[in-house]
Amino acid sequence: MWSSAILRFVRRRIVLAIIFTLSFTYCIVSLISEGKPTSNSDEPEVIVRSEPFKWRTLQEHNSTVDITPCRNSVQGRVLIVDDEGYVCHRADILSSGCCNTESYTTVQYACDTCKENHCCAIYEYCISCCLHPDKKILLEKFLGKATKQNNVLFASVKDHFELCLAKCRTNSQSVQHENSYRDPRAKHCYGEVAPSDDGSDKT
């Protein structure tokens, strides 16, 4: 009877000792592996675009035939801009998602409310202006800088329309001191340069 009790006690101690030893060994190995520097630890992770960026071709810009449905800016209460650069009233959106080009108020590549610094007062006009073919060089420069800076947001956009949607949203370039706009009348920017602090570019 005493021998069986002693045997149980010893077994229990051995099991506890094994568990403690394994746990302690795991902790030591984990600490050592975390302390080892990896070969590329000093280099920032480079974001690689998963698929090539798509610009609209000149043929697409010049086409007047609606072959495919359009994507559009969706949220505007009054104005909507589609991925062909047309701005129209919400009532003039077709079932395809495209602006009705037959409407006299529909305008393509409209830069109304936009200034020389590429900042606009109205989001939809910012996108429409940004989609103009002559803005490609400006946007290519911006994309190059965004890639070098590993900007996740702009590395994930797939085409010209997505880039303009993202670029024209209010971003850190449009604000100062994190709580006020540099230019409250032109806060949607698609260019590289932020609105000036001194208001010199205001009209």
185 phi, psi to nearest 5 deg = -90, -5
Alpha carbon distance 71, 65 (integer Å): 16
Identity of the amino acid at 134? D
Q: What pLDDT shows up at residue 201?
A: 43
| pLDDT per residue as tens digits for the range 169-189 | 865 554 444 444 555 677 888
Crossing angle between the packed helical segments 160-168 and 123-130, to the nearest 10 degrees: 140
d(CA 162, CA 130): 11
- Listed as ranges, residues in the chain with pLDDT below 70 are 1-11, 15-16, 34-52, 56-67, 150, 170-184, 193-203
Give one word for 79, left, alpha or beta, with left for phi > 0 and alpha for psi -120 to 50: beta
> Across the chain, where does the E strand assignment appear?
79-81, 86-89, 107-108, 119-120, 175-176, 180-181, 188-189
**Whole-number pLDDT of residue 6:** 64
Q: Please tell me the predicted confidence (pLDDT) of residue 195.
A: 46
Quote the CA–CA distance of 44 and 103 in Å, as a whole number.
Answer: 51
Q: Report the run of H or E that residue 147 belongs to, with start and end.
A: helix 136-148
